[in-house]
């Protein structure tokens, strides 16, 4: 379960709410009637008075190509790098009484999946890469007064990584053709981490809701099982490895803390306007370093320099209650890139500014059951990336394209 890194800044995943995506996630931090807001603010459930379940499924498709910009490493055009991906979410709120609720939310919170041509110019940095972080978030919401609620949650996260790339083995025995004798390395590993979230919702005036929430950073040490194979015979004989060998490696991955602020303002009985602002501490991503136990062909250490900066997301949207059964939604979002310049962009995690256009609707099928649907189209600002081998040869390209997100979900009150 992973999403292309280009869907949200860095490699965040924001498919936690079908209804929220219908308005570009505007107002999620200030929500008081939707269990799928728990990821954004654990205080949001304090006004829910009946056991309520929300489930959603999100389908991500699109077309993103890399256009070469003078790479000195020879290779083929990469083609479309996006995989079709399905991402679920599930949330449940159980009211105890007197404004106290016990809650649980599950979703993917971070991830990337890129799939390049096996012989593209950046094959030594990444061909097939996926990182997925799955979260279970139990939380407690408590209404202090009729207008103020607080909430806290514990984040239990599981991270898994898979990667395939090539090694320029020809550089070791055929200097005249260093990129004509490639070996391959396939890596896979996982780890667990624990963090916390906290939030508050305040209704200062009738029809006005304000929300503020915090999610802590998480750090993983991925234990990677690696297989290096298709080693050319002259090199395998010289190294004593034969055509393949196995290795073990560790890679540290630190996920950022973030702060969300949201507003919901009722304009009329039918129309509500909403705003969300999110800050994410992507500056923790200085580099990604993999340390191998043997390092016979890979070297003991492999480092990708990141030097990302903090990013902001601004969402503006609204809901209009058309009838007793139909609710319509519309929104737009600007999601700032986390990279600072193209030399700090890595091919495994392409990143750029994103502009979202979002529409959605809900239909109250019965008194207890509501159907939600949303569609998001993401426009990408052209993004550039460059990675360089130790010998000074590099791959350099411009990422262009779009993604579409189709979401369908239900809300059921017991």
pLDDT digits (tens, 9 = 90+) for 133-165: 999 999 999 999 999 999 999 999 999 999 999
Strand locations in 216-353 (E): 218-229, 245-255, 258-266, 271-280, 287-292, 301-305, 311-321, 326-335
Lowest mean pLDDT among 44-48, 334-338, 348-352: 348-352
Q: What is the mean pLDDT of residues 19-31?
A: 96
Contact partners, residue 126, CB within 8 Å, separation at least 6: 114, 116, 163, 164, 165, 346, 347, 348
Could you tell me which residue, 53 or 64, shows the higher pLDDT? 53
Percent of the chain's residues with pLDDT above 90: 65
Neighbours of 275 (CB within 10 A): 19
Query: Rounded to an integer, what distance in angstroms lies between the CA atom of residue 169 and that of residue 182?
Result: 5
Confidence of residue 387 (pLDDT cuts 50, 70, 90): confident
Residue 5, pLDDT above cutoff 50? no
Contact partners, residue 120, CB within 8 Å, separation at least 6: 66, 75, 76, 77, 78, 127, 395
Residue 274, pLDDT above cutoff 70? yes
Confidence of residue 317 (pLDDT cuts 50, 70, 90): very high
pLDDT at residue 241, rounded to an integer = 92
Contact partners, residue 228, CB within 8 Å, separation at least 6: 167, 183, 184, 185, 241, 244, 245, 246, 247, 296, 297, 298
The DSSP result for 199-222, as a single string, is EEEE--STTEEEEEEEE--EEEEE
Residue 303, pLDDT above cutoff 60? yes
Average pLDDT over the chain reads: 90
- The count of domains in the chain is 1
Could you tell me which residue, 83 or 59, shows the higher pLDDT? 59
Lowest mean pLDDT among 181-195, 266-280, 350-364: 350-364
151: nearest Cα among 186, 196, 117: 196
Query: Rounded to an integer, what distance in angstroms lies between the CA atom of residue 294 and that of residue 299?
Result: 8
Query: Rounded to an integer, what distance in angstroms lies between the CA atom of residue 196 and that of residue 71?
Result: 43
* Domain span including residue 105: 5-413
Q: What is the mean pLDDT of residues 382-406?
A: 86
pLDDT at residue 3, rounded to an integer = 40
Tokens 């279970």, located at residue: 136
Q: What is the mean pLDDT of residues 204-215?
A: 97
Contact partners, residue 366, CB within 8 Å, separation at least 6: none
Let me know: does 177 contact 221? Beta carbons within 8 Å.
no
> Where residue 218 sits, what CATH number does that domain have?
2.40.160.60
Let me know: does 103 contact 96? Beta carbons within 8 Å.
no
Stated pTM of the model: 0.90
Helices and strands: H and E segment counts in the chain:
2, 19
Lowest mean pLDDT among 260-274, 335-349, 365-379: 335-349
Among 5-19, 74-88, 194-208, 387-401, the range of highest mean pLDDT: 194-208
Question: Tens digit of pLDDT for each residue in 90-137?
Answer: 999 999 999 999 999 999 888 777 889 899 998 998 899 888 899 999
Let me know: does 219 contact 256? Beta carbons within 8 Å.
no
In which element (H, E) is residue 235 found?
helix 233-239
Residue 2, pLDDT above cutoff 80? no
- 186 token code pair: 């396939």
Let me know: does 342 contact 354? Beta carbons within 8 Å.
no
Query: Rounded to an integer, what distance in angstroms lies between the CA atom of residue 83 and that of residue 394?
Result: 25
């Amino acid at each position: 379960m992973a999403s292309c890194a280009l869907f949200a800044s860095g490699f965040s995943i924001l498919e936690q709410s079908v209804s929220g995506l219908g308005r570009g996630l505007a107002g999620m931090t200030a929500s008081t009637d939707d269990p799928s807001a728990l990821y954004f603010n654990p205080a949001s459930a304090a006004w829910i008075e009946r056991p309520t379940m929300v489930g959603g499924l999100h389908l991500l498709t699109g077309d993103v190509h890399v256009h070469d910009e003078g790479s000195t490493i020879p290779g083929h055009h990469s083609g479309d790098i996006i995989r079709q991906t399905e991402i679920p979410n599930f949330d449940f709120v159980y009211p105890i009484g007197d404004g106290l609720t016990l809650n649980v939310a599950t979703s993917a919170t971070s991830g990337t999946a890129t799939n390049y041509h096996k012989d593209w110019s950046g094959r030594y940095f990444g061909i097939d890469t996926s990182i997925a972080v799955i979260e279970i978030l139990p939380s407690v919401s408590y209404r202090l007064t009729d207008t103020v609620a607080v909430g806290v949650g514990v984040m239990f996260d599981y991270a898994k990584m898979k990667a395939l790339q090539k090694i320029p083995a020809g550089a070791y025995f055929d200097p005249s053709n260093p990129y004509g004798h490639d070996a391959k390395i396939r890596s896979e590993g996982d780890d667990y981490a624990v963090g916390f979230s906290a939030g508050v919702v305040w209704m200062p005036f009738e029809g006005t809701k304000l929300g503020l929430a915090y999610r802590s950073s998480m750090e993983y040490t991925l234990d990677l099982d690696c297989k290096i194979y298709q080693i050319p015979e002259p090199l395998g004989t010289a190294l004593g490895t034969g055509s393949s060998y196995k290795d073990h490696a560790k890679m540290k991955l630190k996920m950022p803390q973030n702060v969300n602020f949201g507003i919901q303002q009722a304009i009329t009985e039918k129309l509500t306007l909403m705003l969300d602002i999110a800050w994410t501490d992507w500056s923790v991503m200085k580099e990604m370093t993999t340390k191998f136990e043997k390092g016979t062909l890979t070297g003991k250490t492999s480092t990708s320099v990141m030097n990302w900066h903090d990013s902001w997301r601004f969402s503006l949207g609204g809901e209009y209650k058309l009838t007793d059964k139909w609710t319509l939604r519309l929104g737009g979002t600007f999601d700032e890139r986390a990279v600072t310049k193209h030399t700090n962009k890595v091919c495994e995690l392409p990143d750029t500014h994103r502009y979202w256009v979002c529409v959605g609707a809900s239909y109250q099928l019965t008194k207890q059951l509501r159907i939600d649907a949303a569609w998001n189209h993401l426009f990408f600002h052209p993004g550039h990336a460059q990675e360089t081998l130790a010998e000074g040869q590099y791959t350099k390209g411009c990422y262009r394209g779009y993604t579409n997100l189709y979401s369908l979900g239900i809300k059921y009150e017991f």
